[in-house]
Structure 1
Amino acid sequence: MTNPILAAGAVLWRRSAEVEIAVVHRPRYRDWTLPKGKLDEGESLYAAAVREVAEETGFRCALGRSLGHVSYAVDGVPKTVDYFAARVVDGEFTANDEVDRLRWLTLPAAAERLTYDHDRSVLAGFAETGPETATVLLVRHGHAGRRDRWPGPDDERPLSKTGRGEAKALAHLIPLFAPDRVHSAPKARCVQTVRRVAEQLNVDVRLEATLLESADRTDAVDRLREIVGDGGTAVVCSQGGVIPDLVSDLAKDSSVDVGEVRSRKGSLWLLSFAGDTMIGALYIRQA
């Protein structure tokens, strides 16, 4: 049996007088489409989306919210493409072997230019709330060994070798979303999980006592909403006894179906907001 094709892409956007979307022309297929491409071996959806945007358009981008996926067959082989909103950071288009033309178009014009209905459905999902959304990358700290084997105070229990590997992997993943600040519950294992990201951004880790398991649940939700209200993209690291309640409460308030709220160590939730309303939640578990 042939393995399904996995791919990732983006609705690449910029704001000029109004929001403009990049659509690309592929001479091989004689079509106009959204930038996308197959995952390399061992590559994540998120890294593939950023790489494919760069390769096809010449632009470096910052990922935003998940726009879901589309599935169709290519020569009888099933193919699934996961899409994300992606803001232009910098770059310049140069024609290449895959793409010979790029057009920046308004949302209505882009929908009219696109060749495929499945691309138009992705664009329609993007257009529902537009690009100006806030993002929270809600991280559970990495592995820190067994509590009963740590001789010191639990607040000071550090990441284990496995946890340090998870923190390193997060430091590769999280920058794809171009965060601008880092928050953490004041536990050593939480701070260590996101310290490398903070160093990459050249910012301090802001300590958040309301995100501890011992804190009040309502206070934790209120504080997260304050972080959302600051706009942009924030990294927030907390504990396994906090994250499921936070995600569940935000989802309930916003009528977003998140299914089973998982929170594996070293994983994160990509939470997207329009104003103070959560409009999307994607669980990202690293291998």
Structure 2
Amino acid sequence: MLIHIIRHGHAGSRRGWTGKDELRPLSERGAAQAQAIARQLADTGVDQLWSSPFIRCQQTLEPLARLLGLDVDVVDGFGEGGDGAAALDLLLAAAADGHIVAVSSHGDVIPMIVEVAVERGATLDGPRSGKKGARYELTVVDGRVDRIFHVGAPDARD
């Protein structure tokens, strides 16, 4: 069973944004990354899409949602400042129920999820944190993460 964890695509600068950070959208580059991610994950069996409450994470999954005919479910635990262990446990529970989840989260939460999985015995192929648009494929065996594979951020032409 696989779990896909995706760092949201490129968004505009925090400094240049005057609204609430939760509402800061993807940039054009980030939107192109989201399209590429959708193409990469289209045939992977994903049947649930989860997102941080932040709009840029939801936007990262929207092209995949349209392609698969799924809704993007907002899950608070994947927002900035989330708890890595609790987030991983949510993902493992979904995998135990037979679901293949793709979740979009943030550059602070994802490394915590990866770290907890490694502490629990997973093997990591790649860095603990990735660039915007990068993703991790977590292989789940017997209810735990066995291996984590880092997939770099897509070129918008992928």
- Give me the TM-score of the superposition, normalised by structure 1: 0.51
SS at match of 1:169: helix
Q: Percent identity?
A: 31
Is 1:150–1:157's contact at 8 Å kept on the other side of the alignment? yes
In the TM superposition, 1:38-187 aligns within 5 A as: 134-187=1-54
Per-residue CA deviation, residues 99-121 of structure 1 (Å, 9 max, x unaligned), is xxxxxxxxxxxxxxxxxxxxxxx
Is 1:268–1:284's contact at 8 Å kept on the other side of the alignment? yes
Aligned length: 154
Partner of 1:193: 60
Q: Which runs of 5+ in 2 are unaligned?
A: none
Is 1:181–1:198's contact at 8 Å kept on the other side of the alignment? no
> 1:281 & 1:255 partners in 2: Cα distance?
7
Report the aligned-residue RMSD. 1.5
> 1:181 & 1:153 partners in 2: Cα distance?
27
Partner of 2:77: 210
Which entry has the higher C-alpha Rg, 1 or 2? 1
In the TM superposition, 1:2-13 aligns within 5 A as: none
Per-residue CA deviation, residues 246-277 of structure 1 (Å, 9 max, x unaligned), is 01211220242445313110111111101312
Partner of 1:231: 98
> 2:99 & 2:52 partners in 1: Cα distance?
20
Q: Which runs of 5+ in 1 are unaligned?
A: 1-133
Partner of 1:131: none
Partner of 1:256: 123
Q: Residues 148 and 162 of structure 1: is their aligned pair in 2 closer, same or farther, counting only changes over 3 Å?
A: same
> 1:174 & 1:202 partners in 2: Cα distance?
13
